[in-house]
Structure 1
């Protein structure tokens, strides 16, 4: 550790205070409310995750709600906020919110896939670390639908030597990764559709490029 937990917490407090100051100076009540909701969503997402660890009955919809709170809410608020400041119609700003939401969900699913398909060196953390902590993501939820044995391993909280590695192998071998890839692409396609509210331009192409780049991470 370079500075320790205390300094890390203080740095987080400073960044939160700084962001609150910038938020107060936006001088647009709609955007202020939008970003304030994101702060609330972050906390809600962490609570949802903490309350569902090692829960093999978690459904895909619950996972998507948690992913929205933790990731997609921020991106959705950012894209809608930019649209509002650009002075577009409310119908366009709503579509831009949906664009950010779908991009964020696709991004989170891709991240959760990489937790199984990349090495510890590539990830900067041990592979399967979310699963090890009991955080069941899209690949695991899909794999649970096909392999009952996986439930037993997860509910044991990996108490036996090699059980985590066995669970990871099951997720990979029974289609969990492929179904999660399809989900990421489904959300990406929706994000591209949301951009139809914008005229063809370099800016729209850049937004489409963000969606495509995200999917390229799992190609």
Structure 2
């Protein structure tokens, strides 16, 4: 069950990271890209940094230029960072469901599987 919880938790966090780039402030209940604005390196940003060196410069500047946050968001989108984060969230979700195979089929197991599916619905 530890592995299930670990993989579900990782999937959940990556989904949350993605929503910061794909949802509006109204939907999130906080400013969009707020993690990036604070300098938090989330999954989409980490993936984007692998192909967009300019993103590192913008983050290191602490978004000192007026449009730098918008430019950073664009780089994350353009780089495929969100797509790669989506793949990671799906991979961890699939692993979480696989981790449940040791349990007999039951309402309990079904509920745990549905938790994974519910988490991934936000990005499908």
Shorter chain as denominator, the TM-score bin is over 0.9
Q: What corresponds to 1:126 in structure 2?
A: 31
Q: Deviations over 1:63-118 (max 9, x none)?
A: xxxxxxxxxxxxxxxxxxxxxxxxxxxxxxxxx11101110110000000000000
Matched, 1:211 2:116: yes
Q: Secondary structure at the match of 2:14?
A: helix
Q: What corresponds to 2:41 in structure 1?
A: 136
Q: Which of 64, 75, 78 matches 1:170?
A: 75
Gaps of 5+ in 1: 1-95
Q: What corresponds to 1:196 in structure 2?
A: 101
Q: What corresponds to 2:90 in structure 1?
A: 185
TM-score norm. by structure 1 comes to: 0.56
Gaps of 5+ in 2: none
Displacement, 1:174?
1.1
Q: What is the correspondence of 1:154-169 to structure 2 with a 5 Å cutoff?
A: 154-169=59-74
Q: Which of 95, 99, 113 matches 2:4?
A: 99
CA distance in 2, matches of 1:120, 1:111: 13
Matched, 1:110 2:18: no
Q: What is the correspondence of 1:31-50 to structure 2 with a 5 Å cutoff?
A: none
TM-score norm. by structure 2 comes to: 0.98
Displacement, 1:183?
0.5
Alignment root-mean-square deviation, CA: 0.6
Higher Cα radius of gyration: 1
Displacement, 1:180?
0.3
